[in-house]
Structure 1
């Protein structure tokens, strides 16, 4: 009997201690004293960026897996060109995330290479403008060759646009119209064939053909 009473007393004291500690902890936390007011908060993505239709495909939801979406296309090209580095300048003087030459930049209205290199948003616009211009130049070849196989590779619009980014639309025309015999290679040995194969099957319907496309 004495042991039972002692057990009850011990249990009661334990409950009281737990309750006291719990209430004491609650009393020491005053959330009203915590605020982000006045702090300089840094975000890697601005709230307005996701609304910028120059950067993303219309109505497309961002996910870590980009697949064959338009965003997947441009980021895959960027990774191949520079590993996605906006500040990259290669040994041949090509600039930025997508490795533009200065003459190509002039075609889409950009004349200040230094400003271009320091402006990621402008680089994204340049990619869209250049792709739009190339799509207009290659519109007949896209119509005539998409769905065919050249050198064993299925010709797709995204493959054509990627190859045009690498080699220029003129070189892509020669490749297609020679059925792969005229296969341009850049200074690193990368060919039109390589880009036609590597970037096949992406959704590039977001790109609209525009003869006078400008980034500025």
Structure 2
């Protein structure tokens, strides 16, 4: 017996460092707690902030959006203090000319407003077709003339006033009630691709 104890290296004397449970006290610990299920936990989903800008370049859509933003900051529902309507700020008489007779419907229908812009631009392109051919590429008053600039200026001032401006070499100008001039629109909206617009003397809104 003595040989066996000696050989195994164990002592018959009690070793408190291993066998005494009092040193592992759980006093003061909260041993009862609840673990919720997955579907009981509210998962905080971080807000996703869009950080991109749609690049339209010098396309026809880019032309429309740039002009609409200048006219009304792109707001289909706006009416200015002079009574001009919608995203592209149409006069009510201009709308009647292109076949829009219900102002309330016009203000509530973005598709109708876009169609009105296309129809009116087609009319202006037909009226100014000879001037476009004659003056595009020239410089008048320090501004290089482009087709899109001419069409934008016609939206601002009417095709007749644009004719006078071009044919007078810029001597006969025009500014709207806010002081915006033909020359400013010729420059600001130059270089867009408006070849999509077909000149049409009798263009009407058709939906």
Give the TM-score normalised by structure 1: 0.71
Matches within 5 A, 1:28-177: 64-177=54-167
Per the alignment, residue 169 of structure 2 pairs with 179
1:40-85: CA deviation from partner (whole Å, max 9, x where unpaired) = xxxxxxxxxxxxxxxxxxxxxxx81101011100000000000000
CA-atom RMSD in angstroms: 1.3
1:65-111: CA deviations, max 9, x gaps?
A: 10101110000000000000000100110000000000110110011
Work out whether 1:189 is the aligned partner of 2:171.
no
63-72 or 77-86: which moved more?
63-72
Write the distance in 1 (CA, Å) between the matches of 2:81 and 2:160. Answer: 23
CA distance in 2, matches of 1:81, 1:134: 18
Write out the 4+ residue segments of structure 1 that deviate beyond 2 Å after TM superposition. none
Structure 1 stretches lacking a partner, 5+ long = 1-24, 29-62
Q: Does 1:203 align with 2:193?
A: yes
Q: Which runs of 5+ in 2 are unaligned?
A: 1-37, 40-52
User: What number of residue pairs does the alignment pair up?
Assistant: 157
Return the offset for 1:114.
1.2
Larger helix percent: 1
Cα distance between partner residues in 1 of 2:96 and 2:184 = 26
1:181-216 deviation digits (Å, cap 9, x = unpaired): 111000000000010000000000000000010013
